[in-house]
Amino acid sequence: MFNAKAYAAASATSGLAHVQIKRRDPTPHDVQIEILFCGICHSDLHMVHNEWSSVMPTVYPIVPGHEIVGRVTKIGPAVTKYKPGDIAAVGCLVDSDGSCPQCKADLEQFCPNLTLTFGSPDKHGTAPVTYGGYSDSIVVDERFVLRIPSNLNLAGAAPLLCAGITTYSPMCRWGVTKGKKVGVVGLGGLGHMGVKFARAFGAHVVVFTTSPNKKQDALRLGADEVVVSRNADEMKKHAFSFDFILDTISAEHDINAYLNLLGRDGNLTLVGAPTKPLAVAAFALIMGRRSFSGSNIGGIAETQEMLDFCGKHNITADVEVIPIQKVNEAYERLVKSDVKYRFSIDMASLKSE
């Protein structure tokens, strides 16, 4: 084992601070990575504040972070895909059983024996739970390590590992393509990636935001239209017209307001994960034979496919690069929807701790 620097929260209210953690020495199939950038996902914040306690109670201390880009520093003797010096990435998953029907279908994110990048029981016994990317290093089985196309900026590529795949996957599944009218609800980390992908797929993109000051950005990011969702008249204009809507809102909201914008056979996919249940009105689904579904990140193969797509189309997140010392401030801003449009932590800042 070796010591690594990290930022951890000791409790739901403590905020994050510098700690030392243990990482395992690479086993035969492991890749050791020096972390260069790690994105801040709203899921990190939900977990730090124990907001998902009914489904996934947080174990403290928690080291969040699952949008990781770095450089390989060491490999185990059986590793074939990576060598020291390579740029490599890690997303939300670091292990799965590899044998269940979900893994066989390349949907490791639904494996019952999945290991998340942070907060899952640590099979290797290095620590009680896995520790994530707010750290100077991580050790991961090579099956869960991904490649970043060489033309992409690394700070902006980090958020692709969660915000990217979470928005790309449902759009592929629900056939977002040229000629479709697509809504993206919430212009934060996930939402702004959703706009970029919907645009790249050729759809007509409408952004729904509660922040009028994000209007110009939404257009610049690729939206054809922007609706301030608190304006009932603007909302009404789009009734019964969408093929697909992606809902990325992190907090409680009226889901029926968006279901009612779907046309016949339209689908609304929820990727946002608010703490409290959402009330669905029966008639919002019955009328128009609409469907309401969810989606969770994506499997490893699809994540690599998404990264390669981003390489080809030169897509990265719009990031505000921050030193790790500003992480608590960034969390306060996330709560206020004040994010443009993803925080990416420059992990070199951890060296001074």
What residues between 324 and 353 interact with ligand NAP by CB under 6 A? 334, 337, 339
What residues between 161 and 180 interact with Zn ion by CB under 5 A? 162
Q: By CB under 6 A, tell whether 272 contacts ligand NAP.
A: yes
DSSP 282-334: HHHHHTTT-EEEE-----HHHHHHHHHHHHHHT----EEEEEGGGHHHHHHHH
Q: By CB under 6 A, tell whether 269 contacts ligand NAP.
A: no
What residues between 103 and 162 interact with Zn ion by CB under 5 A? 162
Contact 29, 77 (CB under 8 A): no
Which H/E stretch holds residue 156?
helix 154-157
> Beta strands of 232-299 (E only): which ranges?
242-247, 262-270, 291-294
Cβ of residue 15: shortest distance to ligand NAP, in angstroms? Answer: 18
**Segment interacting with ligand NAP (CB under 6 A) among 26-34, 67-75, 242-250, 306-314:** 242-250
Closer residue to Zn ion, CB minimum distance, 162 or 226: 162
By CB under 6 A, name the one of 126, 153, 210, 328 that touches ligand NAP.
Answer: 210
Angle value at C-alpha 85, between 80 and 87, nearest 5 degrees? 85
DSSP state of 212: G
Residue 146 exposure: Cα atoms within 13 Å on the Cβ side? 29
d(Cα 224, Cα 350) in Å, to the nearest integer? 40
The token duo for 216 is: 């110009």
Q: Quick one: CA dihedral 227, 231, 237, 239, positive or negative?
A: positive
By CB under 5 A, name the one of 41, 94, 161, 347 that touches Zn ion.
Answer: 41
Residue whose beta carbon is closest to ligand NAP: 188
Cβ of residue 307: shortest distance to Zn ion, in angstroms? Answer: 15
Q: Which does 186 bind (CB under 5 to 8 A by kind): ligand NAP, Zn ion, none?
A: ligand NAP
Q: By CB under 6 A, tell whether 273 contacts ligand NAP.
A: yes
Contact 75, 32 (CB under 8 A): yes
Q: By CB under 6 A, tell whether 248 contacts ligand NAP.
A: yes
Closer residue to ligand NAP, CB minimum distance, 136 or 247: 247
Cβ of residue 51: shortest distance to ligand NAP, in angstroms? Answer: 9
Footprint on this chain of ligand NAP (rule: CB under 6 A): 41-43, 46, 162-163, 166, 186-191, 209-211, 214, 248-251, 253, 271-273, 295-297, 334, 337, 339
